[in-house]
Structure 1
């Protein structure tokens, strides 16, 4: 690889790692925002789990006005749910499709987001280090990374 290509690959890897890290942080911020929306206008109900998965679980619940809701995007924080299980849910009365499992909040998103960030940099860091070393050892290349 010539110096120009190596430099572009290094920048590409760094930019990809930064983007993944920022998206992980934004995921936690969005979860916190959803929690804030629910807590500012909270309704509670008992819901039934219609389908269960680690990333998405479908539920059905009835609000006090007698309307049955089946949120298209499922319930927030769906881990450890089983089909047919009855669960307490908290929802935003202004938007009953925004619903979470009672007792769970954005804090459950922190560990997965941090894990993604750590793994991303555990991969990107050594790749960047290797490419910088390789680039610096090419004939006629300045050893100052910032000047290129």
Structure 2
């Protein structure tokens, strides 16, 4: 490793030194300064290579490959909750009247879902009361508690909404 650094430094020093001399001769000191700086870097690499000679090379730190969290980042989860709310609103008679509470992101059985409670106005203009919902961001895959037969919603809620 020391010899590789030293050899690279020597080559860089020689090339930059020659180029620096040529540029100064052409009366372009600005470009000559660039090559002079490269020459200095090469010199320090040459010296660093000489100083490392005979010393053991430092072992590379092993890299650990991590898999992305299947639940996503917190910002992705927050976006998922917002999309779930939009899907719920698309199913309501008066989407603008929707009030949400207790909504949360859940990852269960390789499914991303948003769970929570929603209250909205019915056709007569009165609020119907909070009901649970489960959404995977599309209206077709969003279910309101009042739409599902008795008992079935509870079973799905227990499986998917463990937040």
**TM-score, normalised on structure 2?**
0.27
> Which structure features the higher share of strand residues?
1
Asked which structure has the greater CA Rg, the reply is 2
**TM-score, normalised on structure 1?**
0.30
